[in-house]
A and B are shown apart, each in its own frame.
Chain A
Amino acid sequence: MINGIGRVLTSNSLNNITSNTNSQVMLETTLKSIGRPGFILIDNEINEDTKKYAAAKEFLYQATCLLVYAALVVPVFKKGAFKMAQKLFDKEQIGNFSSLKQYNHYLKLCDSSLNNRKMTLNKEIKGVYKLDNDGNKINKLVKDDYDEIAVKELLKENPNTFTDLKGTIELGNIVGSVFGLAIFAPQVSHAFIHPALKFLGLEKPEPKTENTKQLDKNA
């Protein structure tokens, strides 16, 4: 039993999620979108219609949060943080990565064992070619994407993960998550939820005030 729990707690897939704020927030928001409407639906003190309305509203709110998060945080805040790190730190501290995608790939390689890392570095990238010394077209290797310093690090037992760069990206992630989920998502959901609830038949359309005014005038 304890071995089983230990295996789950130290599994690499769980570790990949916990080392990334992005996946943490996505998973947590998904759980909220299940848990909160679920608890509203099992509440016996509310009448059926109110339960359905409140649960649908909460679900739509969390779903909006998830969409806003996916659309806003990764493209804007994470990439912005990567660029900010290049201004804040020296290259020795953050390495010479050309993009956020390349750094994420580097971190994944760091998490794997040294043997797996060596095998991956020598793999060919399909469809991507380079010219050898004789001018012949040959497949590019994974290690060709990295500079010498990064390759040297990857061949060590415990490679440098460039924590300052990682920390700056995490900071961007946290700021983006707070902005996206606490400030931007409520505004988006305000515009989106009521039409969606009306479409689902859970909210009655508002009576038209203009018609009422006309009727009053006639009377």
Chain B
Amino acid sequence: MKTAIADKLRNTAHALGINNKPTYVVMAIAAVKGICRPTFTMMDKKEDPKTKKYTAIREGLTELIAIPVYWGLGELSAKVAKKVLPPELHKKGAKNAMFIGVCVAALLVIPGLCSAAIKPIMGKFYHDKDSKNKTVQSGLDIESEAPKLEIKDNIYNNSTIIKRPSIQNFTSRAEYGMKVGGV
């Protein structure tokens, strides 16, 4: 084996042998997943290009959120454990607390954050841009050109309801909701 590579492997193995934090492996997995899952999704020839793009951005964002959460919650749990435990149990307790932090992140914090944060982010950077482009490309002002239909719907207060065609009637977006899972 070449010496330079062997030296690097020896040093890495030595460092991991002395201190292998539970956050290392989950962060490494999240980082590579954040690159590979969107790439694989974009390589799928069967999928609709718009769905592919949406799914790939969503997958990338999920892992982008996961990396700092794993690190932050892991380190925070270790610090709390060091404050709670006596000094002789610091090393053992901090490592175990870090692992509990990673588990809480995987079970609750990351899925919760993704549910709360991804939709608004995707709405801002993907849907809005998409719909704006469509309006400019088509050159049609659908809202003002739409026929106004007056329907007497409620006989009791005799109010007038104006029904306009929805923007969704003119979009080519697939209507089967979000895509999760990367394939």
Contact = CB atoms under 8 A, between A and B. Distances in A.
A complexed with B? yes
Interface of A: 2, 5-6, 9-11, 14-15, 17-19, 21, 24-25, 27-28, 31-32, 34-36, 38-40, 43, 45-47, 50, 53-54, 57-58, 60-61, 84-85, 87-89, 162-168, 170-171, 173-174, 177-178, 181-183, 186-187, 189-190, 193-194
Contacts of B97: 9
B181 A183 contact: no
Given A6-B85, A9-B97, A39 B115 contact: yes
A90 to B, nearest CB: 11
Contact of A9 (B29, B93, B176, B178): B93
The binding surface of chain B is classed by DSSP as: helix
B18 A163 contact: yes
Interface of B: 1, 6, 9-10, 12-18, 20, 22, 24-26, 28-29, 32-33, 36-37, 40, 44, 81, 84-86, 89, 92-93, 95-100, 102-103, 106-108, 110-112, 114-115, 119, 176-183
A11 B81 CA distance: 13
A25 B100 CA distance: 13
B24 to A, nearest CB: 7
A170 B25 CA distance: 9
Given A45-B119, A167-B12, A182 B29 contact: yes
A171 B26 contact: no
A182 B93 contact: no
A50 B93 CA distance: 42
Contact of A54 (B81, B92, B95, B179): B179
Contact of B36 (A19, A57, A182, A190): A182
Contact of B17 (A32, A84, A163, A187): A163
Given A5-B84, A35-B111, A88-B6, A167 B183 contact: no
6 contacts: A6-B86, A28-B106, A87-B1, A167-B20, A177-B29, A193-B183
A186 B85 contact: no
A183 B84 CA distance: 40
Given A164-B14, A164-B17, A38 B111 contact: yes
B13 A58 contact: no
B40 A31 contact: no
Contacts of A28: 26, 102-103, 106
Given A39-B115, A171-B16, 18 more contacts: A2-B84, A9-B96, A10-B89, A18-B95, A24-B102, A28-B102, A32-B106, A36-B180, A88-B13, A165-B17, A166-B16, A171-B12, A177-B25, A178-B29, A182-B36, A186-B40, A189-B181, A190-B44
